[in-house]
Chain A
Amino acid sequence: MSTADLHVSIATPEFLKRLERLRLWVRSARGLRPGETPIPRSNQAWGIEFESYKDYAPGDDFRYVDWNAVGRLDQLLVKTFTAEREIPYHIFLDTSASMGAPAIDRKFQFAVDLVAALAYIVLLNSDTLRVLALTAPEKGQRPYTPMPLARHRSAFLRVTSFLETLAPAGKTYLREAVRAYSEHAREPGVAIVVSDFLMEPAQYEEAFSLLRVRGYEVKALHVVGAAELEPHKLFRRGKLFDVENRTERWITLSQANLQRYQAAQQAHCAALKDFCHRYRILYHLASTASGVGAVLTEELPKAGMLTLR
Chain B
Amino acid sequence: MGILNPSALPFLAVLGVLVLIYLRERLRTRIEVPALLFWMEVKEDRLRIRRFLPSLLFLLQALLLLLLVGGLLHPFRPTTVTETHGHRWILVFDVSASMQAREGRTQRFELALDQAKQVVKTLSALDEVMLISVATRPQLVSGFTTDHRAVLDLLETLHPLDAGANLTLGVELALAQRDREGRRAQVHVFTDLPKSTLALPEEQLQDIAYHRVGKNDDNVAIAALQLYQNPFQNYSQAQAYVLVRNYASRTHSGTLTVSLDEKSIFRRDFTLPSREVMSFSVKGFTSPGKLVAKIEPSDALAVDDQALAWLAERGRRRLVVVSAAKGLQEELERVSRSIPGLEVTSIAPSAFAQAQLDPQDVVLFHQFVPAATVAANSLYIFPPSENPLFPVVSEAEDLNILDWRQEHEILQNLRYVEALPLKKARILALPSWAQVLISSRTRNGEVPLAFTGEKDGHRVVCLAFDLNKGNLTNSDNLTLLLLFLNTIRWLLPHDPSTPMPVIAGDTFFLPTETAHDSPRVRTPNQQETPIEGGVVEVERVGEYRVTGSQYQATLYANLFNDEESDIGRQDQDQQDQAVNTPATTEALAPQDIVRTVPEEFGRSLYYAAACILLLEWLYALWRYRRMRVS
Contact = CB atoms under 8 A, between A and B. Distances in A.
Contacts of A98: 34-35
A27 B588 CA distance: 118
Contacts of A261: 38-39, 41-42
Nearest to B35: A198
Contact of A264 (B38, B43, B53): B38
A238 B36 contact: no
A122 B32 CA distance: 35
Contacts of A268: 37-38
A233 B630 contact: yes
Contacts of B372: none
Contacts of B36: 240, 242, 245, 247, 249
B33 A241 contact: yes
Residue in A198, A244, A251 with the greatest tally of chain B CB atoms within 10 Å: A251
B616 to A, nearest CB: 21
A137 interface: no
B50 to A, nearest CB: 8
A98 B32 CA distance: 9
Contacts of B39: 240, 249, 251, 261
Contact of A240 (B33, B46, B627, B630): B33
A101 B30 contact: no
Interface string A244-256: 1101111110000
A96 to B, nearest CB: 8
Contacts of A248: 30
Given A233-B630, A239-B27, A252 B48 contact: yes
Instruction: State which size class the interface on B falls in.
Output: 20 to 34
B623 to A, nearest CB: 14
Contacts of B34: 97-102, 107, 196, 198, 225, 228, 242-244
A69 interface: no
Interface in B6-58: 26-27, 29-46, 48-49, 53
Nearest to A172: B35
Given A104-B630, A248-B30, A242 B45 contact: no
Interface string A94-130: 0001111111100100000000000000000000000
B13 to A, nearest CB: 27
A103 B32 contact: yes
A190 B30 CA distance: 40
Contact of A101 (B27, B32, B37, B38): B32
A18 interface: no
A73 to B, nearest CB: 66
A252 B49 contact: yes
Nearest to B627: A104
A241 B30 contact: yes
Contacts of A97: 34
B33 A242 contact: yes
B31 A102 contact: yes
Contact of A244 (B26, B29, B35): B35
Contacts of B44: 249-251
Interface in A178-196: 196
A44 interface: no
Contacts of B30: 238-241, 248
Nearest to A107: B34
A238 B22 CA distance: 13
Nearest to B26: A238
B464 to A, nearest CB: 85
Given A228-B34, A233-B630, A245-B35, A239 B29 contact: yes
A244 to B, nearest CB: 6
B33 A243 contact: yes
Interface in B38-93: 38-46, 48-49, 53
A2 interface: no
A306 B46 CA distance: 48
Contacts of B49: 237-239, 250-252
A234 B32 CA distance: 10
Contacts of A241: 30-33
A244 B36 CA distance: 9
A263 interface: yes
A274 B71 CA distance: 67
A302 interface: no
Given A239-B27, A265-B38, A102 B48 contact: no
Given A233-B630, A238-B31, A240-B31, A250 B37 contact: no
A280 interface: no
A232 to B, nearest CB: 12
A19 to B, nearest CB: 28
A38 to B, nearest CB: 40
Contact of B29 (A233, A238, A252, A265): A238
Contacts of A240: 30-31, 33, 36, 39
Contacts of B35: 98, 198, 242-245
A260 interface: yes
A250 B29 contact: no
Contacts of B27: 239
A75 interface: no
A264 B32 contact: no
A170 to B, nearest CB: 13
B42 to A, nearest CB: 5
A264 B41 contact: yes
A15 B34 CA distance: 30
A141 to B, nearest CB: 24
Given A101-B33, A247-B36, A237 B41 contact: no
A235 interface: yes
Nearest to B55: A236
Contacts of A243: 32-35
B45 A251 contact: yes
A306 B42 CA distance: 38
Interface centre among B41, B42, B45 (most CB of A within 10 A): B42
A238 B27 CA distance: 8
Contacts of A234: 31
B32 A102 contact: yes
Interface of A: 97-104, 107, 196, 198-199, 225, 228, 231, 233-235, 237-245, 247-252, 257, 260-261, 263-265, 268
Interface of B: 26-27, 29-46, 48-49, 53, 627, 630
Given A237-B49, A265-B38, 15 more contacts: A98-B35, A198-B35, A199-B37, A231-B33, A235-B31, A238-B30, A240-B36, A241-B30, A241-B33, A242-B33, A245-B35, A245-B36, A248-B30, A249-B39, A250-B44
20 contacts: A99-B34, A101-B32, A102-B33, A104-B630, A107-B34, A196-B34, A199-B37, A231-B33, A238-B26, A238-B30, A240-B36, A247-B36, A248-B30, A249-B44, A251-B44, A252-B45, A260-B41, A261-B42, A264-B41, A265-B38
Per CB-CB distance, the 4 closest pairs between chain A and chain B, nearest first, are: A98-B34, A264-B38, A198-B35, A241-B30
